[in-house]
Structure 1
Amino acid sequence: MDTKKIRWFTVAFIAFNMVWGMGNVVNNFAQQGITVVTSWLLILALYFIPYA
Structure 2
Amino acid sequence: MKNIGFTTSIPVEVIFAAGHKPVDLNNVFITNDNPGKLIEVAENAGSPEIPVRG
Q: What TM-score does the superposition give when structure 1 sets the normalisation length?
A: 0.34
Task: Compare the two structures and name the one with the higher helix fraction.
Answer: 1
Higher relative contact order (CA 8 A, sep 6+): 1
Task: Compare the two structures and name the one with the higher strand fraction.
Answer: 2
